[in-house]
Amino acid sequence: MINPSLLEIEEENTFSKASRLVREYKEAHPEKDVLSLGIGDVSCPIVPPVIEAMHKAVDELSDMEHFSGYGSYYGIDSLRQTILDHEYSSFGFTRDEIFVSDGTKTDSTSILELFSPEAKVLVGDPMYPIYRNGALALSRRVYEAPLDENFVMEIPEEHYDIIYICSPSNPCGNAYSREDLQRWVNYALKEKAVIVYDNVYACFIQSDVPKSIYEIEGAKECAVELRSFSKVASFTGLRCSYYVLPKAIDTKYWKERTINRFNGASYIAQKGAEAVFLPESQRLIQENIRHYHENISYLRESFVELGYEVHGGIDAPYLWIRCPKDMGSWECFDWFLKEMDIIIVPGIIFGRRGDGYFRVSGLGTIQNSQKIMERLKRHEEGR
Ligand code: PLP
């Protein structure tokens, strides 16, 4: 008997459908040089001090004196302490409120296990689709909120128990302002709701928006903040993430749940993650982030020059672009692929209201972006 909730996850508008269409196109046209603006993965390798730390961790596992085995369900203490010292002690948190895990994709929906299955879950439309699909897989009741003209989720009239906010945003490329977040925190406090704040792109923030939701008054009472080493330190394949679960929400039951559901993130990945905070790693990581910013700025300017309506790309590595000629997302995807051998991500993958938009990622290389934009310009000139 298959979980009936899984049947609710639509196959029609997914990344897997886009991947399948690209695969079929490449198989039918093996001679074509297909380039991608869709890559959500990073293009900078892991920096050397982190690699060194992981080599050392591997060696430690080779003798029982330094061996590390079961037991660190919430993360190894040294990493939890490092995260606390660098990012959360100023908000008055303790190490007990920091949890290490193997990825924010997992964390963003596993946190639902803390709350009643009756809890009403609110996600944005469009938004990172995992919140909706992950909640559906857990048979939760999921509702969608539209975004306003600044791509910020509108505050509903009704009561919801769990609210997902993604800022800086995938896919819209914007970040919530202090005022936006204060409104949501006020709503959550009033409704006794919890905000699940996906903050994996915090490292890309350049403008004067909050880098953490805990900069907002009252957030410590109602918000769980999720962060990941994936994008900032190229851990997309290595896997390590962390989150803050404030005591004011609960840590007692969550610890019990976690001991029973998770045996901890990989020791090697955690030792690598600890080294992310070394000054030399931070210096090199900032260079990588500068590279991504340059790339996204180049893409942004090039699309604007071609007359596209472009959003985002300042505080997040994504552009959210309106499809030309009133095309729907899939039509636009087809047009880019078949006319120019370029892959974009159809906006509808992120929710029905994302139709009519497409997403462009700045996490690839500048060389790749330049090739794509030259091809796009040539195509425009040839028409
Ligand atoms: N949250 C958002 C908004 C993302 O865009 C992504 C990855 O693209 C993730 C979470 C997944 O992060 P992780 O690699 O830590 O699972």
Residue by residue, DSSP assigns 304-351 as HHTT--EEE-SSSSEEEEEPGGG--HHHHHHHHHHHH-EE-EEGGGG-
14 — pLDDT class (breaks 50, 70, 90): confident
- Closest atom of ligand 1 to CA, residue 228: 15
Distance 245 CA to ligand 1 centre (A): 18
pTM: 0.97
Do 95 and 131 fall into the same domain? Answer: yes
Do 242 and 142 fall into the same domain? Answer: yes
- pLDDT digit string (tens) for 167-196? 999 999 999 999 999 999 999 999 999 999
Average per-residue pLDDT in the chain?
96
Do 37 and 95 fall into the same domain? Answer: no
12 — pLDDT class (breaks 50, 70, 90): confident
- pLDDT digit string (tens) for 67-122? 999 989 999 999 999 999 999 999 999 999 999 999 999 999 999 999 999 999 99
Q: Which pLDDT does position 109 carry in this prediction?
A: 96
Measured at the CA of 373, the angle between CA 371 and CA 379, to 5 degrees, comes to 105
Contact partners, residue 140, CB within 8 Å, separation at least 6: 112, 117, 119, 121
Instruction: Give the 3-state secondary structure of residue 374.
Output: helix
Do 289 and 368 fall into the same domain? Answer: yes
Q: Which residue has the least CA distance to atom 11 on ligand 1?
A: 105
Tokens 């929710």 identify what position? 351
Centre a 10 Å sphere on the Cβ of residue 139 and count the other Cβ atoms it contains. Answer: 14
Question: What DSSP line would sit under 146-215, residue for residue?
Answer: EB-TTS-BPPPSS--SEEEEESS-TTT-----HHHHHHHHHHHHHHT-EEEEE-TTGGG--SSS-SSGGG
Task: Using the 3D structure, point to which of 212, 244, 277 is the last residue of a domain.
Answer: 277
Provide the CA 149 distance to its chain's centre, in angstroms: 21
Output phi, psi for 216, to 5 deg. Answer: -95, 135
Task: Using the 3D structure, point to which of 249, 277, 305 is the last residue of a domain.
Answer: 277
Question: What DSSP line would sit under 11-29, residue for residue?
Answer: STTSHHHHHHHHHHHHHH-
Q: Which pLDDT does position 190 carry in this prediction?
A: 98
- pLDDT at 124 > cutoff 80: yes
Do 291 and 269 fall into the same domain? Answer: no
Q: How many domains does the chain have?
A: 2
6 — pLDDT class (breaks 50, 70, 90): confident
Task: Using the 3D structure, point to which of 216, 246, 277 is the last residue of a domain.
Answer: 277
Distance CA 174, CA 178 (A): 13
What's the Cα-to-Cα distance from 204 to each of 111, 224, 301, 311, rounded to whole Å? 25, 20, 18, 15
Do 268 and 327 fall into the same domain? Answer: no
Do 193 and 303 fall into the same domain? Answer: no
Structural domain for 147, as ranges: 48-277
Distance 39 CA to ligand 1 centre (A): 13
What's the Cα-to-Cα distance from 11 to each of 2, 14, 15, 212, rounded to whole Å? 16, 6, 9, 34
**With a 6 A CB cut-off, is 230 part of the ligand 1 pocket?**
yes
- pLDDT at 11 > cutoff 80: no
Q: Which pLDDT does position 246 carry in this prediction?
A: 98
Q: Which pLDDT does position 63 carry in this prediction?
A: 95
- Closest atom of ligand 1 to CA, residue 106: 16
Residue 251 maps to which CATH number? 3.40.640.10
Peptide bond between residue 346 and the one before it cis (omega within 30 degrees of 0): no
Which of 123, 167, 228 maximizes ligand 1 atoms within 8 Å of its Cβ, making it the mutation to test the pocket?
A: 228
Distance 190 CA to ligand 1 centre (A): 29
Do 172 and 161 fall into the same domain? Answer: yes
Residue 317 maps to which CATH number? 3.90.1150.10
Q: Which pLDDT does position 71 carry in this prediction?
A: 85
**With a 6 A CB cut-off, is 110 part of the ligand 1 pocket?**
no
CA torsion, ordered 359, 364, 370, 372, to nearest 10 deg = -50
Output phi, psi for 142, to 5 deg. Answer: -115, 135
Which of 133, 200, 232, 349 maximizes ligand 1 atoms within 8 Å of its Cβ, making it the mutation to test the pocket?
A: 200
Q: Which pLDDT does position 147 carry in this prediction?
A: 97
Of 44, 47, 45, the C-alpha closest to 292 is 44
Contact partners, residue 348, CB within 8 Å, separation at least 6: 13, 328, 329, 330, 354, 355
**With a 6 A CB cut-off, is 166 part of the ligand 1 pocket?**
yes
- pLDDT at 8 > cutoff 90: no
Which of 100, 128, 234, 235 maximizes ligand 1 atoms within 8 Å of its Cβ, making it the mutation to test the pocket?
A: 128
- Closest atom of ligand 1 to CA, residue 241: 15
Of 147, 155, 134, the C-alpha closest to 174 is 147
Question: What DSSP line would sit under 53-112, residue for residue?
Answer: HHHHHHHHTTSTTT---TT-TT--HHHHHHHIIIIIGGGT--GGGEEEES-HHHHHHHGG
Q: Are 42 and 236 in contact (CB under 8 A)?
A: yes
Do 100 and 163 fall into the same domain? Answer: yes
**With a 6 A CB cut-off, is 173 part of the ligand 1 pocket?**
no
Do 84 and 190 fall into the same domain? Answer: yes
Do 352 and 230 fall into the same domain? Answer: no
Which residues, listed in sequence order, are joined to residue 183 by a DSSP beta bridge?
none
Distance 347 CA to ligand 1 centre (A): 17
Distance 133 CA to ligand 1 centre (A): 14
**Mean pLDDT computed over 298-312:** 98
Percentage of residues of the chain with pLDDT beyond 70? 100
- Closest atom of ligand 1 to CA, residue 230: 14
- pLDDT at 39 > cutoff 80: no
Do 157 and 29 fall into the same domain? Answer: no
Bigger pLDDT: 7 or 270? 270
**Mean pLDDT computed over 351-362:** 97
Which residues, listed in sequence order, are joined to residue 342 by a DSSP beta bridge?
35
Q: Which pLDDT does position 40 carry in this prediction?
A: 83
**With a 6 A CB cut-off, is 170 part of the ligand 1 pocket?**
yes
